[in-house]
Amino acid sequence: MRLLRKEKMLVDVLITVENLTRVYGRGALAVQALAVNRLTVFRGDFVAVTGPSGCGKTTLLNLLGALDRPTGGVILFAGKKITTLGERALCRYRREKVGFIFQDYCLLPTLNAFQNVLAPAFPLLNGRGARRARARAEELLHLVGLAGKEHRRPGELSGGEQQRVAIARALLLDPELVLADEPTGNLDSTMGEEVINLLKKLNEGGKTVVVATHNQRVAEICQRHIKLRDGRVVADEFIN
């Protein structure tokens, strides 16, 4: 494995992974989906995680975002071990620290764009945070180029527009880390380019972004490229 480091990034570690494993199934049916000895993500990183289907890309993102628990190993986020947190603390971590962007958008079909963006803040809407959350949702829809389409439901939006709603939703609570799993996978090249440029803009604004992708264009635009094969990191390079 070859790792090229930018010295200015060494001083600010956001995530450290040590001896991380994820095994699915038991006994003779057990399959090791991930085995990462060590991996560091720095604040401000824009990382593409690539590799063939089944190599562990989604598994890695799910573990970093605490959507799944590892079989073994440690994940530190800003120096705090998240792999030993209880369910309540993990829920708080997912809500406050991580924004998720999924390939299939995961929008609620009965809610309009504004309501979908606002969804992570629903528990706040009866308190003092309601006005702030609504203003933030409007601001984000404008940021992703959907001003004027706030009241359209997902079925009334194109695939690219739905993904931009999903990106706005991921940013609502101002997470430190944005995890995007194949964000251009269901989009044509034009819409995919729009989403790539938006992710780049978010990173330039200070967000740490990790993208699992098959899209070579995404990998080219990222600052760092991590390649997985059979659940292991085989290359880790800063490319910009």
Give tens-digit pLDDT for 96-107.
999 999 999 999
Q: Residue 166's domain is classified under what CATH number?
A: 3.40.50.300
Position 109 pLDDT exceeds 90: yes
Between 75 and 10, whose confidence is greater? 75
Residue 134 lies inside a defined structural domain of this protein:
yes
34 belongs to a structural domain: no
How much is the pLDDT for 17? 97
Q: 217 falls in which pLDDT band (50, 70, 90)?
A: confident
Q: Predicted confidence band at 234 (pLDDT cuts at 50, 70, 90)?
A: very high
- pLDDT for res 212: 97
Average pLDDT over residues 179-194: 92
Per-residue pLDDT at 121: 87
Task: Tell me if 166 is assigned to some domain.
Answer: yes
Across the range 118-137, mean pLDDT stands at: 81
209 domain residue, yes or no: yes
Domain count, the chain: 1
Residue 19 lies in a domain: no
pLDDT tens digits, residue range 7-66?
445 569 999 999 999 999 988 899 999 999 999 999 999 999 999 999 999 999 999 999
CA neighbor of 73 nearest in space, from 15, 28, 9, 30: 15
Nearest to 17 by CA among 231, 190, 193, 240: 231
Note the helical H segments in 144-224.
159-171, 189-204, 216-221
Residue 1 reports pLDDT greater than 90: no
Domain that includes residue 181, residue range: 44-62+87-238
Question: In this predicted structure, what is the pLDDT of residue 4?
Answer: 47
Exposed e or buried b per residue across 223-235, where buried means at least 16 C-beta atoms within 10 angstroms of its C-beta: bbbbbbeebbbee
Predicted TM-score (pTM) of the model is 0.92
Sheet containing strand 232-238, strands side by side = 3-4, 232-238, 224-229, 46-50, 208-212, 177-181, 98-101
> Does residue 9 fall inside a structural domain?
no
Residue 213 belongs to a domain:
yes
Whether residue 128 has pLDDT greater than 90: no
In a domain, 118, yes or no: yes
